[in-house]
Amino acid sequence: MLLQNYRPIPQLVTKTTRIEVPRFPVIDAHNHLAAPYGGAWDEKPLSELLAVLDEARVQKFVDLDGGWGEALLQKHLDRFKAKAPERFQIFGGVDWAQWQTLGANFPEWAAKRLEVQKSWGAQGLKIWKPFGLKVRDEKDELVKIDDPRLDPLWQTAATLGLPVMIHIADPVAFFTPLDERNERWDELSAHPEAHFPSPPYPSFHELIEAFARLVLRHPQPVFIGAHVGCYAENLGWVSNLLQRAPNFYVDISARIPELGRQPYTARRFFLEHQDRILFGTDHPANAETYRAHYRFLESDDEYFAYDADPEAIPGQGRWRIYGLYLPEDVLEKVYWKNAEKVYQW
């Protein structure tokens, strides 16, 4: 038998808690509405999306897809924000390709475009993971995350009161050799484009330390570190940055597999930083996906599958997770109060 065909069925007898609706209203503070990440909801009737969100008790939704370009930003502002302004926020982004054309003028240009995006209705800035990995300047040199030339962009976000959702680096395993030791071998074998070995790419630790320097050098803008501060495998590191940078927040999007396999450490992390953690899924809006997140946050269930199909090879690693059984006051903050404050909703 090949390992790829191995599908062990746990014989462990544990309870299953099905949470139909969350304890409190929910703000999904990190998600998408366009393909490929958002399930192409921008091509379906808005009424269908609202029905899914209503079923899952998701009252407000942050769409980060404006970051792909201004044409898409305008489309999403017209399709979602204009028709249901109380339900959606749409974030803008940066057209990094313009750097090689505009040269030294690019940072000021990007800052001015952010002002324009806000005038249209954008309510935040999304920085995607090519920043630090692939973005190059007019000399075709890789731009570092803490490059001081970009200070005008971050300062403008602070002046405009726009939070910055920033995604720096993927899971650590995405930067290590794709061999028998890589815990995300299944996922990377299916998606080799997500593998960023060093060289030629910067190492994970180069990226994450540059990210910390960026946040610490700019105390005015609100930074939200996507995916548990981009380092869910090391909550001690994330906790340290949260302690040093009061303008830094994190969301839990696409990382319940990481958090759920370290339940004791994760629960302590939530309790210590309960005012700085935002709920998010980074998954096409679906009631069952939301319920899986509610189970993780609210129940004390043990050793359960984080994917919809418990018999499939898990999408983010061959392990199962444990519920955190968070107190009600912490759940209320994580589900909606923190996002309401950060996004000024």
pLDDT tens readout for residues 304-316: 999 878 788 899 9
pLDDT band at 244 (very low <50, low <70, confident <90, very high): very high
> What number is the average pLDDT over the span 12-27?
96
Domains, the chain, ordered by start: 25-342 (3.20.20.140)
Sequence letter at residue 128: W
Digit-coded pLDDT (tens) for 144-158: 999 999 999 999 999
Q: Report the pLDDT value the prediction gives residue 286, as an integer from 0 to 100.
A: 94
> What number is the average pLDDT over the span 195-200?
94
Q: Report the pLDDT value the prediction gives residue 280, as an integer from 0 to 100.
A: 98
> What number is the average pLDDT over the span 98-105?
96
Q: Report the pLDDT value the prediction gives residue 76, as an integer from 0 to 100.
A: 95
pLDDT band at 204 (very low <50, low <70, confident <90, very high): very high
Is the pLDDT reported for residue 241 higher than 80? yes
Q: Report the pLDDT value the prediction gives residue 313, as an integer from 0 to 100.
A: 86
pLDDT band at 239 (very low <50, low <70, confident <90, very high): very high
Q: Report the pLDDT value the prediction gives residue 295, as an integer from 0 to 100.
A: 98
Q: Report the pLDDT value the prediction gives residue 308, as an integer from 0 to 100.
A: 77
Q: Report the pLDDT value the prediction gives residue 70, as an integer from 0 to 100.
A: 83
> What number is the average pLDDT over the span 216-225?
98
Q: Report the pLDDT value the prediction gives residue 136, as an integer from 0 to 100.
A: 97
> What number is the average pLDDT over the span 230-250?
98
> What number is the average pLDDT over the span 241-249?
98
Residue 256 CA neighbour count, 13 Å, CB half: 27
Is the pLDDT reported for residue 69 higher than 80? no
Digit-coded pLDDT (tens) for 31-62: 999 988 888 999 999 999 999 999 999 999 99
Is the pLDDT reported for residue 182 higher than 80? yes
pLDDT band at 325 (very low <50, low <70, confident <90, very high): very high
Q: Report the pLDDT value the prediction gives residue 36, as an integer from 0 to 100.
A: 82
Q: Report the pLDDT value the prediction gives residue 310, as an integer from 0 to 100.
A: 79
Question: To the nearest whole number, what is the mean pLDDT of the chain?
Answer: 96
Least confident interval from 1-10, 28-37, 80-89, 329-338 = 1-10
Q: Report the pLDDT value the prediction gives residue 173, as an integer from 0 to 100.
A: 97
% of the chain exceeding 90 in pLDDT: 90
Q: Report the pLDDT value the prediction gives residue 2, as an integer from 0 to 100.
A: 87
